[in-house]
Amino acid sequence: MKKIRFFEARSITAALAAAGIAVIAAYIYCDTSCTYLNGSIFGLDIKYLGLMYMGLILLLCLAGREKSLTLLLSFGMGSEVFLVGYQVTSSVYCPYCLAFAAIILLMFVLNFKRGKGLPMAVSSVAGFVFFVLFFFGSVTPAYGEENAISSFGSGRVTVRLYTDYFCGPCNSLEGKLEGVIVELVQKKIIRITFIDTPIHKETPLYAKYFLYVLNEKRDFKHALLARAVLFEAAAANIIHTGELESFLTKRGIGYRIFDVKPVFDRFERHIREDGITSTPTCVISTGNEPQKFKGAEKILEALNGYRNKK
C-alpha cells in the first residue's frame, strides 16, 4: 500500500511539475501585460531556474527517487517563502509567480513525510537562506544610461503611455490605439507622452533610436510610424545596433544620433512617480489625482471615454 500511495503521489507531483512548466511558459509569452518583477541567481533569470527546477522534479518522479524528491521540494518551499515575501514587501505581485508558488506548496504538502520532518525543515531553511544570500531582484524598470521620452499634443488632459517594444500586449495595443490618440491629439484633448519602458533588456536600444528618429523629424504621425516600425523590428527579434539601423533605413525611417542623457532624469522620475511595474500601462491626469490603467482593454476603454468630451 505504501508503494501504491507513493506511486499515486509521484504521478500527481509529475503532473503538477508539468503545470509549473506551463505557468512559466505562459509568463514568458504573456499576452495580457508584462510585469516588471526581475530576479536572478548568479546572473541566471529565475524564470529559467524555475524551468530547470520543475524539469528536475519530473526526472526524480520518473526515477522514483522519493528521498531526493522530498528534499528538493522542501528546498523549493523555502525558496518560495522568500520570493513571495519579496513580492509582499515590494508591493508588486506577479500572478504567474504566485501560481508557481502555489504549485510548489501543493507538491510539498502532497509529499510531506512526518518521519522526515527534520531533514525537510533543514532543506527548507537552506532554500530560504540560499535566496537571501544570492538572489538579486528589482521591481522598478531602469535604463541605466539610455532612455527616451517624447510628448505630443496640447490638450489639458495629460497622458503618459508606458510600453515596451518586446512586450506582446503592447504590440497588439499599438494598432488599436493609434486612431484613438490621433483623434484626441488633433482635437486638442490630450497631451500624450510616450515612455519606452525597459521591461525587457533589449528595449533601451529601441528607445534610444526612437529618440534619434524624432531628432531627425519631430512630427506626431511620423512618431507613430516609427513606433510601428520598431514594434515590427522587435517582432523580428532584431537586437543588434547595425541590424536595427539597416531595418529602419529599409523602411524609410531616418535618424540623427545625439546625446540622449539629458532626458534620463526626467524619464526615470516618471517611472518612479507613477509606480510603473508592467506594460502596457497608461497614466491619465486631468489636474486631479492621476488614474492608472493597466492592460490593453482598460487603456483603450479609458482613452475612448475622452473622444466625446470637449
Q: Report the CATH number that the domain containing residue 106 is assigned in CATH.
A: 1.20.1440.130
145-200 pLDDT, tens digit per residue, is 444 357 898 888 999 999 999 999 999 999 899 999 999 999 999 999 999 988 88
Is 309 domain-assigned?
Answer: no
278-279 and 34-35 beta bridge pairing:
antiparallel
Is 310 domain-assigned?
Answer: no
Instruction: Give the integer Cα–Cα distance in Å for 204 and 30.
Output: 20
Give the DSSP letter string of 246-303. HHHHHTT--------GGGHHHHHHHHHHTT--EESEEEEESSSS-EEEESHHHHHHHH
> Are 128 and 168 contained in the same domain?
no
Domain end (from 85, 119, 138): 138
Is 94 domain-assigned?
Answer: yes
Q: Is the dihedral of CA 182, 184, 189, 192 positive or negative?
A: negative
Predicted confidence pLDDT, tens digits, the chain (310 residues): 444 465 678 889 889 999 989 988 888 776 566 666 677 887 788 888 889 999 999 999 888 888 888 999 999 999 999 999 988 887 777 888 899 999 999 999 888 877 777 888 999 999 999 999 888 776 666 665 444 357 898 888 999 999 999 999 999 999 899 999 999 999 999 999 999 988 888 998 999 999 999 988 888 999 999 999 999 999 999 999 999 999 999 999 999 998 777 766 677 788 889 999 999 999 999 877 899 999 999 999 999 999 877 5
Is 207 domain-assigned?
Answer: yes
Does residue 235 come out as left (phi exceeding 0), alpha (psi in the -120 to 50 range) or beta?
Answer: alpha
> Are 34 and 109 contained in the same domain?
yes
- Half-sphere exposure at residue 285, Cβ-oriented, CA atoms within 13 angstroms: 13
Q: Give every strand in the sheet of 157-163, ordered side by side.
A: 149-152, 190-196, 157-163, 281-285, 291-294
> Are 114 and 219 contained in the same domain?
no
> Are 205 and 258 contained in the same domain?
yes
Which of these, 58, 56, 57, 49, lies nearest to 27 by C-alpha position? 49
Helix (H, G, I), strand (E, B), or coil: what is residue 66?
helix
> Are 232 and 281 contained in the same domain?
yes
Instruction: Give the integer Cα–Cα distance in Å for 143 and 186.
Output: 31
Helix (H, G, I), strand (E, B), or coil: what is residue 163?
strand
Is 143 domain-assigned?
Answer: no
Cell of 280: 502596457
Is 33 domain-assigned?
Answer: yes
What CATH number is attached to the domain comprising 265? 3.40.30.10
Helix (H, G, I), strand (E, B), or coil: what is residue 46?
helix
> Are 290 and 156 contained in the same domain?
yes
> Are 168 and 132 contained in the same domain?
no
Site of grid cell 495629460: 158
Residues 298-303: contacts with CB under 8 Å, at least 24 apart: 299/161, 299/173, 299/177, 300/173, 300/176, 300/177, 300/180, 303/159, 303/177, 303/180, 303/181, 303/184, 303/190
In the chain, the amino acid numbered 308 is N
> Are 134 and 156 contained in the same domain?
no
Which of these, 173, 82, 206, 175, lies nearest to 132 by C-alpha position? 82
Helix (H, G, I), strand (E, B), or coil: what is residue 85?
helix
Helix (H, G, I), strand (E, B), or coil: what is residue 55?
helix
> Are 98 and 183 contained in the same domain?
no
Is 144 domain-assigned?
Answer: no
* Residue 177 near residue 303 (C-beta atoms within 8 A): yes
What is the residue range of 284's domain? Answer: 149-304
Cell of 308: 466625446
Domain end (from 138, 161, 187): 138
264-289 pLDDT, tens digit per residue, is 667 778 888 999 999 999 999 987 78
Exposed e or buried b for every residue in 10-43, given b needs 16+ CB within 10 A?
beebbebbbbbbebbeebeebebbbbbbbbbbee
Domain end (from 116, 138, 160): 138
- Cβ-proximal residues to 97 (8 Å cutoff; 6+ apart), any chain: 27, 37, 83, 84, 87
> Are 225 and 247 contained in the same domain?
yes
Is 233 domain-assigned?
Answer: yes
- Cβ-proximal residues to 177 (8 Å cutoff; 6+ apart), any chain: 161, 299, 300, 303
> Are 133 and 204 contained in the same domain?
no
> Are 242 and 115 contained in the same domain?
no
> In the chain, how many domains are there?
2
Q: What is the pTM of this model?
A: 0.65
